[in-house]
Structure formats: structure tokens, C-alpha cells
Amino acid sequence: MNRIENMQCEYMENPELICTDHPRFSWAVVSDGRDIRVLRRKITVRDRETGAVVWHDEQEDAETVHIRYGGETLRENAAYEWQVRSFLSDGTEVESGRAYFETGIRDQKIWKGIWITKKDREDLKNCPVFRKTFSLREKPERAKLFISAQGLFTCSVNGIPKDEYVMAPGWTEYRDHLQYLSLDVTEELHAGTNVIGVRLGDGWFDGDISFNHQTHVYGDGISFAAVLITGYGNGTEEVRTDGTWKTRESGILCSSYYDGETWDLTRESANWAAEDFDDSSWEHAVPAPDPEGKLVGIRNEGSKRTDRLKPAAIRKTPDGSTLIDMGQNFSGWLKVTVNGQKGDRVQLKYGEILDKEGNLYTRNLRKAKQEDLFILRDGKNILEPHFTTHGFRFVKILAFPCRPETEMFEGIAVHTAMKPTMEFSCSDPLLNRLCQNILWGEKSNFNDVPTDCPQRDERLGWTGDAEIFARTASFLFGTDAFFSKWMEDVKAAQKKNGAVPFVVPDVLPKDWSFLTDAGLGADQSGAGWSDVVTIVPWTLYLQYGDREILQNSYAAMKKYIAYIKDGAGNGSSDPYLWDWGPQLGDWLALDRSDGSYRGATDEMFTSTAYYAYSVSIVRKTAEVLGFTEEADEYGSLFEGIVRSFHRKYMADGKIKIRTQTAQILPVYFGMLTAEETKTAADSLAELIRENGGHLSTGFMGTPYICHVLSRNGYQDLAYDLLLKQDYPSWLYQVKQGATTVWEHWDGKKPDGSFWSDNMNSFNHYAYGSIGEWMFRCMAGIDTEEKDPGFGRILLSPVTSIRLKSLQCVYHSVRGKIVSRWERNQNTVHYHFEIPANTSARITLEDGSVRETGSGVYDFTVTAV
């Protein structure tokens, strides 16, 4: 049966807010037949209010992704629906259901002069509340609340929470742009008196952020702006934020991103946002300055409550504490439902792991308290924090009014609500758990910004972590909207000289001792981190076939390469080497015996290798965009870097530096000849054996080590590394009870002691980048660069006798791809499912190749 599914507008299903006048549409055709192609398609877009067709496009075109709207100008604050009809090669027609999208506010002027705040916050950490009473002559046919904040907000209409989004409006490079949300409040409004209620928190804008708990990074004070537009058959009416809004301090005495929230429910009325509440004693709001940055509609799915977890157990620890074990490390909070008397307290302390005695270990939180304190009202209390999240598996009960029972607690996981796209399973339960750990690491850290960790006083958008994990992330979830949004932050944070900060949004203290001691200045970049500006857009292009992400990033890419060239021309011994300025290098590698964070590989070696890699990406980007002359220039630059690299770092066809990472990078980055590549791969295998069969790589070498091995005849060794269960290895963490990926290979040592209190996250996705090898190599699901976004699928699974079976189901932008294999001593049986309107090149264990169209295929070959 043929059908159309996965209909997306600007990467999202039925988005309530798009911030472009010319949105793009994508969908997938599903068919049971073989070799099914789309021959012709029709797209129809209608105005939902008038029913009028605003665009009807019929093309002899097989493309189903990123189709640009070409109709009449879309109205502001309007809802549209769209349908697709595809004409297929088997002679059938298939029509989609109706999908929709809504537009936002085009005119920036609407946000001018309407920002309000509370005058003289007596307690600068208090989260003030605001309310506006207004009257409607009748129930509106359509009502949208457009709202933003310099800080964070929650809101309600007539006492009904509009809390689909959390930590809203999200974190951006605020000085350049600030997001607003569009909330449909039609059902909550009625004729007569109505009330909008808003609560404000400091959030990233004005609260504790980055090291040393610095505050007021973006401004001095919090504010918000809102516009309610109600629609009737004969026009619209508006309610805006102004001095008629009422405000007062709330019962939330403080809410910190790192420390948690203190909420005294006795200090605020439970119905303060309802219509019949008397606000005559409240003061009037006062004007606040307009934001420095422009207002843009939210660019991704937004952070939401995504998973709900029940406690695995409640138990006593050796030190006498009561501990809730959620069974899973994640980011969010604990929701508590409890009966109490006025003044009773619920106090919770969050942590990730237990020490060797079995008590809650929190020293790795550094200065972050991760505590929530609630002072109860009489009766039933439902308790959740408003403006904070915690990274935790365990919760220590510091105060509680009665005997805690499991039904009183619910774990609320929070992250950007990306769509899951990968299902992985195999015959090894430890590998299945590892894949779940990688997935939960992404869930825990993709909260509007790809943070490094969700628990300690950091939680920053480290660019190096994000770029090495981007491909894995984009197999597990649909990250096209998430990363496209964040790349706008990266571009906004890029310095005038082309340098890209180590974290985005750029909030590192300029006097942070770690950077200053390393000689790194505010306007400097670091290889492997700043290359995010080239690597992530290219990754998105490969994964989703989105040429526009390259167009949007190309200028920033070139600016970054120019920064490196300019630096090399001002003091380098060779203008083709990045051998200047301090670098972070192969971060956290194990081949240094002095306990340093940095690995043993020469940091000028790694920076030059990354320089070559980014230049190669910019060259390919120029080719895709049709800039032939510029592509040639970058090609010549790449060749120059490779020649200089050979002169400095190679002798007799071998790499001079004997570390694992030194063998990996130039191979993976395409800097060596075929013979040199074989020699480097042989050296890598030798170094692994010399290290007892273990890896010793850090952030730079680890993502690529198994790729280099399996591509160069060492498939068995790649499997050995992945399947090892002793330290250091991925499965060592699993055997230690990990439910997410650790920051350090030895975060918790075999004797139960910890690597360090200072920098020891147990939910840090960087080493989860092995997921890319599991999906692209073990399952063999890949895309061809010349037909990206899985228009042409490359299927070449790398099997192993050490696994009986493996299956990956990947929901690509063009449809579901299935790769499954079962192996015994003599044979390998394969099962592949290839979506309609694509083709595939299948390479089997015996070296045979099959060229296919869409459909279901099974093969059996002799095992090698």
C-alpha cells in the first residue's frame, strides 16, 4: 500500500511558528513495491481561514525534500494547510493528509516599546509575577499569544497553564537575536473578563551562568513582552504589555540554573492568575529597555517535557539518608505530589552517582547546589520547579512531611523535542545498553543548545563536543532544526577576525584562569572546537540533503579559514601550518602520564590536521554551491597544507609522532596517499596492541578510531575496541552501571574511587560519538556525497562473528531504511529495506555489489 508520511515544514511537523516567508516542505513516500520512483508531484497550500489556495505547484519532479514555497506572500499570524499528491512509477497516485503551519510576526516594530518589568525587585532573585485583566466582547475565532522574555517565562490564560514549552523562550546569542513563542490560546479565552498571567525568572540572561557563577552577563534585570491577537470574522483586536499590567513578588524566592529553586507556596495565592482574583494591592509594571538583538520566531521544536520516569527504588543509604533511584541518569527534575500542612518542607538534592560506600556523590557538581526547596500549603501540593533543570539519577531527600512512597514521585525529562529517528538492537545486551546511554546523553544535553553536561556549574555549548557528536546525534534524532538554530548562534558569536568561540552562546569569563593560563584570549579559536563552523553544516548537508545550510554558513566558513591563514602569515614558520597559538589538542586522552587534561599528541600537529579538514570541507561546499574558482583556491590551499604537513611531520612515509591520534587524524582527513594510509593504519593497530588492546585517544582521536581501522582492513580490531569490557572502554562504563556516557574513560575507577572532583561528568556525550561507527559501519547505513540526504543509500555492513545479529532502523528524511544481518560461522544473511524514490548500492561480506532501487531485499553469502 502506497502512502505519504513524515510531512515536514521547515524541518518540523505542523509547526505553530515559522520565521520565513518562503517555507520549505519535505515528505516521504512509502510503498511496498520495488523500484518505485516519484514521476510528478503536486503541492497545494491553502489559507485555513479563507480556504483560498495561495499556491498550487505541479512539477515533473521526483524530489520530495526541501521544496520551496513559491506562492503569494503569506500573511502574518495566519494558519495554512498543505497537501501533496505524488504520481508514482507503478502508475498509482497517492495523496497525503493535510498538514499545517502557522506564521509569526514579520514587523519588528510590534516589539518596540512594550517591554515591561517590576520596579525595584526587593529580592533580586525573586521571580515576579504579572497579570493583565481585559475584556472580550465574544469568544474569538482564533487567538494567538506572542511572547518573549529577557530571562525565562511561564504563562497561563485564565489560570490554565500554557506550559508546553519549558525554559522558554530558550537560549540564544541574545545580543544578536532573541526568540519569541507563539501560543494558541483560543480555547482558554471566553467572552467577558479574561486574565493573562506571566512569571519571570533570571535564566541564562541575568542569572548564574558559566564559571564562578557570574551574573548579569547579558543585562541587568529581566523583562518580557507579549502581544495577544484575537481574531473575529470582522477583524482583530490586540492586548499588549504596558503599564496597565499588574505585578508583585512571587513565592519563588530564587531560581538558579545551577543551584535549583526555592518556592514558598504560602507566599502566593494559588489562584493569582485567575479572573476573579483581586489584584488591587498589586503595583503597576514599569517600562524596560528594548532588547539589543532582533526578535525571531523559535527556530526548533523547543524544550519540552519529553519522558516521564517512575522511581526504580527508594532506599536508605549507609549514611542514613533516604535516596530515590530513578534508574536512569537524565536532565530535568522530580515532580512531587504530596499532602501537607502549611509550612511543611520538601527539600531535594540531586546527583548522578553513588560513591563506593553507596552514598550520594555530589562533589563533581562543584559550586552547583542542585537543590529544590518547597514550602507547602495546606492540602494537596503538586511541586515542580519552573526555571531550572538538574542532571541526575539519584535524589536525596533532605526534608519531607511524611514517609516517601514511589507513587509520590515522577521524573520529568526535559530536552528539545526532536523526533527520534533511530532504532538499534543487536545480540549483545551490553551494546544495546551503550546505544541507550548515547541516546540519553543526547536527550540530557540537547536543551536548545548542545551543552557539555547537565549537572555541574557549566552546562555550556562547547563547540568541540558538538562537532564530534553531530553525526551520531543526527542518526538518533532529527537534529536539522536543532542544529540549524544553533548554527545561527555560532555565526552570531563569531568574532570580527573570524575566530569562533570555544562555547556558543559565548559566555566564558574573559578572565577565566583556565584560558588565561593556557594563553588563550577572548578572540582566539581552537582547532577541533572552532571547526564546528565547517563540520556541523557539512554534516547536516550529508544527513538531510539541505543545500541551504551550506549557503547560510558559507561566509562564516570562509571567514574562519581566513582567520587561520592570517594567523599563519603573522609569525608561523610555514604559512600552510597552523603551528601558532595555544591549543586544547586531543582533550582528555589517556596517553599522558602526568594526569594532564591534554593528550600526548603534538597540539600543532592536531591543529594543522583540522585546518586541512576544514579547508577540504569548504572546498566541497564551494563546489556544491557552484563557486568553482573558490573551490579551486581552497583545493590549492588544501594541497599546500598537506605538503607542509608531510615536510614537518612525516619521514619515509611514516608519521613521526607515535600516538594513536596522530595516526588517525591524517588518515580520516584524507591527507595521505594510499600507501601512507596503509602504513598509518598498521601503526595504529600496533599501538593499540602495545597498549594491551586498548585505545588511548581523547576527544580528537576517539570519534574516528574505529572508522580508520575498519576502512583499512582492521574490522576485527575495531570490534575488539568496541566490545572490550575492561578499562578503558565504552562497555567498561556500562559494566559499572552507567546509563549515560561519561566525560572520562576512568570517571569511576574499578576500585570505586573517582578520577577527579573538579571535572568529572557522568553525562557527557562526546565519547558517544562511537554511535556514528555503529550506525554507518556495523549497520552500514550511509549516504553518498553526490546525492546526500540518503537520496542514494550506501549499504555496506561490517559484520563480526562476535555478534549473532544486528539491526538498525533509520527514519531518514526520505523514509525508513532498514539494515539487518545475522551471522554464523559459515554464512551471513542480510535483510534491507530501501525507501521509495531512492536507490542503493549494497556491498556484501563476500565483496559482491548489488545496485537496487527501492524495496525489500534479502541476501545470503558465505562468511569471510
Cα separation, 57 vs 682, whole angstroms: 56
Pairing of strands 792-795, 839-843: parallel
Instruction: Report the candidate in 588, 587, 493, 650 with the shortest Cα–Cα distance to residue 171.
Output: 493
Give how far Cα 243 sits from Cα of 113, 119, 126, Å: 11, 11, 20
* Secondary structure (DSSP) of 657-675: S-SHHHHHHHHHTT-S-HH
Helix (H) / strand (E) element for 855: namely strand 855-862
Q: Name the burial class of residue 238, with classes exposed (0-12), middle (13-18) and buried (19+) by CB atoms within 10 angstroms of its CB.
A: exposed
What pLDDT does residue 525 have? 83
Q: Which three cell numbers stand for residue 628?
A: 568553482
* Residue 565 near residue 641 (C-beta atoms within 8 A): no
Question: 249-275 burial, b for 16+ CB within 10 Å, e for fewer?
Answer: bbbbbbbbbbbbbbbbbeebeeebbee
Residue 87 lies in a domain: yes
Instruction: Give the contacts of 823 (CB within 8 A, at least 6 positions apart).
Output: 799, 800, 801, 803, 804, 805, 829, 863
Q: Is residue 458 annotated as part of the catalytic site, yes or no?
A: yes
**Residue 570 pLDDT > 70, yes or no?**
no
Structural domain that includes position 375: 304-416
Give how far Cα 657 sits from Cα of 59, 578, 600, Å: 57, 17, 9
Domain tally for the chain? 4
Instruction: Quote the strand ranges of 241-312, DSSP E.
Output: 246-248, 252-256, 260-264, 283-284, 286-287, 294-297, 303-309
* R_g of the chain computed on alpha carbons: 28
Residue 41 — φ and ψ, nearest 5°? -145, 155
Residue 171 lies in a domain: yes
**Residue 547 pLDDT > 70, yes or no?**
yes
Per-residue pLDDT band for 89 (boundaries 50, 70, 90) equals very high
Instruction: Report the candidate in 417, 435, 418, 415 with the shortest Cα–Cα distance to residue 426.
Output: 435
Residue 439 lies in a domain: no
Q: Which three cell numbers stand for residue 341?
A: 500542612
Can you tell me whether residue 443 is helix, strand or coil?
A: helix
Same domain, 155 and 237: yes
Cα separation, 612 vs 620, whole angstroms: 12
Residue 470 lies in a domain: no
What pLDDT does residue 758 have? 85
DSSP label at residue 73:
P
Can you tell me whether residue 232 is helix, strand or coil?
A: strand
Same domain, 274 and 199: yes
Instruction: Report the candidate in 438, 436, 392 with the shortest Cα–Cα distance to residue 414.
Output: 392
Question: 571-606 burial, b for 16+ CB within 10 Å, e for fewer?
Answer: ebebebbbbbbebbbbbbbbbbeeeebbbbbbbbbb
Domain limit, last residue, from 242, 276, 298: 298
Neighbours of 157 (CB within 10 A): 21
Same domain, 195 and 326: no
**Residue 567 pLDDT > 90, yes or no?**
no
Can you tell me whether residue 8 is helix, strand or coil?
A: strand
Task: Say which CATH number the domain at 84 has.
Answer: 2.60.40.10
* Secondary structure (DSSP) of 725-765: -SSSSHHHHHHTT-SS--SSTTSB-TTS-BS-SSS--S--G
Alpha carbon 651 to chain centroid distance? Answer: 42
Same domain, 75 and 122: no
* Residue 524 near residue 499 (C-beta atoms within 8 A): yes
Give how far Cα 107 sits from Cα of 28, 173, 290, 295, Å: 34, 21, 15, 10
Instruction: Render pLDDT for 816-845 as a digit per residue (tens, 0 to 9).
Output: 999 999 999 999 999 999 999 999 999 999
Q: Which sign, positive or negative, has the C-alpha torsion 842, 848, 851, 856?
A: negative
Task: Say which CATH number the domain at 854 has.
Answer: 2.60.420.10
Please give the mean pLDDT across all residues of the chain: 95
Same domain, 164 and 275: yes
Same domain, 172 and 288: yes
What pLDDT does residue 568 have? 74
User: What is the residue whose three cell numbers read 575488539?
Assistant: 720
Same domain, 90 and 125: no
Q: How far apart are the first and last CA of the chain?
A: 38
Per-residue pLDDT band for 212 (boundaries 50, 70, 90) equals confident
Ramachandran quadrant class, 780 (left: phi over 0; alpha: psi -120 to 50; beta: rest): left
Please give the order of strands across the beta sheet that includes 855-862.
422-426, 805-812, 815-823, 827-834, 855-862
What pLDDT does residue 598 have? 85
Catalytic, out of 371, 442, 458, 772: 458
**Residue 594 pLDDT > 80, yes or no?**
no
User: What is the residue whose three cell numbers read 515522577?
Assistant: 410
Task: Say which CATH number the domain at 124 has.
Answer: 2.60.120.260
Instruction: Render pLDDT for 756-787 as a digit per residue (tens, 0 to 9).
Output: 888 899 999 999 999 999 999 999 999 999 99
Instruction: Report the candidate in 434, 376, 384, 444 with the shortest Cα–Cα distance to residue 414.
Output: 444
Cα separation, 416 vs 205, whole angstroms: 19
Same domain, 154 and 278: yes
Q: Which three cell numbers stand for residue 104?
A: 509569526
Cα separation, 803 vs 820, whole angstroms: 12
Same domain, 248 and 319: no
Instruction: Render pLDDT for 276-305 as a digit per residue (tens, 0 to 9).
Output: 999 999 999 999 999 999 999 999 999 999
Give how far Cα 814 sits from Cα of 8, 368, 778, Å: 11, 43, 21
Residue 358 — φ and ψ, nearest 5°? 95, 10
**Residue 509 pLDDT > 90, yes or no?**
no
Instruction: Render pLDDT for 690-727 as a digit per residue (tens, 0 to 9).
Output: 999 999 999 999 999 999 999 999 999 999 999 999 99
Q: Worst-scoring range by mean pLDDT, 563-567, 608-612, 709-713?
A: 563-567
Per-residue pLDDT band for 210 (boundaries 50, 70, 90) equals confident
What pLDDT does residue 517 have? 66
Instruction: Render pLDDT for 415-435 as a digit per residue (tens, 0 to 9).
Output: 999 999 999 999 999 999 999
User: What is the residue whose three cell numbers read 501533496?
Assistant: 84
Same domain, 158 and 20: no
Average pLDDT over every residue of 328-345: 98
**Residue 592 pLDDT > 70, yes or no?**
yes
Q: Is residue 743 annotated as part of the catalytic site, yes or no?
A: yes
What pLDDT does residue 521 have? 64
Same domain, 77 and 13: yes
Cα separation, 351 vs 329, whole angstroms: 9
Residue 339 lies in a domain: yes
Catalytic, out of 352, 743, 772, 845: 743
Residue 206 lies in a domain: yes
DSSP bridge pairs for 840: 793, 852
Cα separation, 585 vs 815, whole angstroms: 39
Can you tell me whether residue 642 is helix, strand or coil?
A: helix
Residue 727 lies in a domain: no
Residue 323 lies in a domain: yes
Q: Helix and strand tally (H, E) in the chain?
A: 15, 46
User: What is the residue whose three cell numbers read 529597555?
Assistant: 289
Can you tell me whether residue 614 is helix, strand or coil?
A: helix
DSSP label at residue 209:
B
* Secondary structure (DSSP) of 493-507: H--TTS---SBSS--
Instruction: Give the contacts of 196 (CB within 8 A, at least 6 positions apart).
Output: 131, 132, 134, 145, 155, 156, 157, 226, 228, 239, 273
Per-residue pLDDT band for 676 (boundaries 50, 70, 90) equals very high
Half-sphere exposure of 121 (CA within 13 A, CB side): 23
Same domain, 33 and 121: no
Residue type present at position 635: G
Give how far Cα 763 sits from Cα of 286, 439, 692, Å: 42, 11, 27
Give how far Cα 51 sits from Cα of 55, 74, 227, 304, Å: 12, 14, 26, 32
Question: 672-710 burial, b for 16+ CB within 10 Å, e for fewer?
Answer: beeebbebbbebbbebbeeeeebbbbbbbbbbbbbbbbb
**83 or 220, higher pLDDT:** 83
Cα separation, 139 vs 741, whole angstroms: 51
What pLDDT does residue 254 have? 94
Helix (H) / strand (E) element for 372: namely strand 371-375
Q: Name the burial class of residue 853, with classes exposed (0-12), middle (13-18) and buried (19+) by CB atoms within 10 angstroms of its CB.
A: middle
Can you tell me whether residue 771 is helix, strand or coil?
A: helix
